[in-house]
């Protein structure tokens, strides 16, 4: 587990540092007016006109339909993201400060933002806007509110800022059945460190990480990829927002590739395989990471059947099922099934010590009640 927690003391130090830099932030805020970025934005802009009016008060926290932090973090891990959990990322106080606690609202969208710092990309620090993001903004009651859910730094590091309802969208148009100006209570926001102003300066690691974060958030809320939008799609008309520099359709293609486990498939061409008509035949040479073919699909089905029989957490390892693509999910399922086979079984314990945990061998194919061929 490679989770890193920032200590409360560390956060306090960061807050002091930010206070010292107050002047810098104020001037950056003025500068962003020209590109209308999110960095240094005012609380009223982030909150929108409804910042003091919860949609619907309910005291029943147990039935809160908002995705749990555990669920979101599980999905991130499933996509291979090792997030940095910033202090307070799940502290209910910020949701309460944002006047959104107990609103009972259901997540309807994931919103892509860029920080829009107005600093040329070449001069952006790795976590340029993170101190501002973590400090958040003050509500009209003088209470701290976090300014987004996720933050992607310049090298693609994923920081978990806050996982409950908070401000990031401000006022905007009605969409997905959400009334105008209310998107804060119905969406999660991903801030990506960027110069802003419509400049396409995101690094490839940022694009990759942000797509994975969006996929994880959509998974956690049970939403289709069509619910990924840009800040500008919602708040372009009302606030003049231009983030992000890419279209929603462009992001959705990236996010879909993550969700269907095909994002790695672009680097490896599907191998043309002449498939045996015997449905139990599995070619070992064709069943390998990075390939897409019928043998892989047969192998995946076999793994899933045996996994279910042995109460392996199949859905966790392989949420997308037998897709025919040998990617991270197939490696993970292979490992999970093998791990289970080793329990109180000397033969499989020896196998575990000697063989790959992510690729099949003749012995594993046979154990799946399939017939290994070359």
Q: Shortest Cβ distance from residue 192 to Zn ion (Å)?
A: 9
Nearer to Zn ion, 103 or 129 (CB): 129
Report d(CA 119, CA 72) in Å as an integer: 31
Nearer to Zn ion, 99 or 231 (CB): 231
Nearer to Zn ion, 158 or 242 (CB): 242
* Among 56-64, 81-89, 149-157, 228-236, the segment contacting Zn ion (CB under 5 A): 228-236
Q: Of these, 38, 181, 193, 329, which contacts Zn ion (CB under 5 A)? A: 38
Nearer to Zn ion, 46 or 303 (CB): 46
Q: Shortest Cβ distance from residue 241 to Zn ion (Å)?
A: 6
Residues 185-224 vs Zn ion: string with x where CB under 5 A?
----------------------------------------
Which residues, at least 6 apart from 133, have a Cβ–Cβ distance to it below 8 Å?
115, 146, 147, 148, 151, 159, 161, 191
Which residues, at least 6 apart from 289, have a Cβ–Cβ distance to it below 8 Å?
326, 327, 330, 331, 358, 359
Report d(CA 216, CA 220) in Å as an integer: 6
Helix (H, G, I), strand (E, B), or coil: what is residue 83?
coil
Q: Shortest Cβ distance from residue 255 to Zn ion (Å)?
A: 17
Q: Of these, 75, 99, 113, 227, which contacts Zn ion (CB under 5 A)? A: 113
Report d(CA 234, CA 236) in Å as an integer: 6
Q: Does 243 bind Zn ion (CB under 5 A)?
A: yes
Q: Does 233 bind Zn ion (CB under 5 A)?
A: no
Alpha carbon separation from 119 to 38, 109, 200, 246, 313 (Å, rounded): 13, 29, 13, 19, 46
Of 34, 45, 48, 235, the closest CA to residue 116 belongs to 34
User: Cα angle at 22 between 169 and 17, to 5 degrees?
Assistant: 100
Q: Of these, 99, 227, 231, 252, which contacts Zn ion (CB under 5 A)? A: 231
Pairing of strands 150-152, 187-192: parallel
Q: Shortest Cβ distance from residue 111 to Zn ion (Å)?
A: 7
Nearer to Zn ion, 206 or 330 (CB): 206
Q: Shortest Cβ distance from residue 4 to Zn ion (Å)?
A: 26
Q: Shortest Cβ distance from residue 231 to Zn ion (Å)?
A: 3
Site residues (CB under 5 A) for Zn ion?
38, 113, 231, 243
């Amino acid at each position: 587990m490679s989770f890193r927690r920032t200590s409360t003391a560390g956060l306090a130090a960061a807050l002091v540092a930010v206070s010292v830099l107050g002047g810098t932030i104020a001037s950056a805020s003025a500068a962003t007016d020209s590109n209308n970025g999110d960095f240094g934005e005012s609380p009223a802009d982030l909150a929108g006109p409804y910042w003091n009016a919860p949609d619907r008060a309910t005291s029943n926290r147990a039935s809160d339909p908002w995705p749990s932090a555990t669920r979101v973090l599980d999905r991130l891990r499933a996509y291979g993201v090792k997030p940095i959990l910033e202090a307070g990322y799940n502290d209910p106080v910020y949701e309460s400060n944002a006047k959104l606690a107990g609103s009972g609202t259901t997540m309807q969208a994931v919103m892509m933002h860029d920080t829009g710092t107005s600093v040329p990309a070449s001069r952006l620090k790795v976590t340029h806007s993170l101190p501002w993001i973590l400090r958040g903004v003050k509500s009209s009651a003088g209470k701290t509110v976090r300014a987004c859910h996720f933050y992607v730094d310049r090298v693609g590091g994923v920081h978990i800022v806050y996982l409950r309802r908070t401000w990031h969208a401000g006022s905007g148009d009605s969409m997905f059945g959400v009334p105008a100006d209310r998107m804060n209570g119905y969406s999660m926001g991903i801030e990506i460190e960027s110069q802003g102003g419509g400049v396409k300066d995101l690094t490839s690691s940022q694009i990759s990480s942000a797509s994975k974060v969006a996929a994880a958030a959509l998974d956690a809320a049970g939403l289709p990829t069509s619910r990924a939008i840009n800040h500008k799609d919602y708040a372009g008309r009302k606030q003049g927002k231009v983030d992000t520099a890419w279209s929603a359709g462009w992001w959705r293609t990236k996010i879909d590739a993550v969700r269907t486990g095909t994002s790695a498939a672009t680097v490896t061409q599907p191998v043309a395989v002449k498939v045996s008509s015997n449905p139990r035949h599995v070619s070992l040479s064709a069943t390998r990471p990075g390939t897409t073919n019928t043998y892989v699909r047969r192998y995946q089905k076999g793994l899933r059947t045996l996994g279910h029989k042995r109460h392996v957490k199949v859905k966790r390892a392989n949420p997308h099922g037998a897709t025919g693509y040998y990617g991270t999910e197939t490696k993970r399922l292979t490992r999970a099934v093998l791990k289970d086979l080793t329990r109180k079984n000397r033969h499989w314990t020896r196998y575990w010590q000697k063989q790959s945990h992510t690729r099949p061998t003749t012995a594993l194919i046979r154990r799946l009640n399939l017939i290994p061929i070359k």
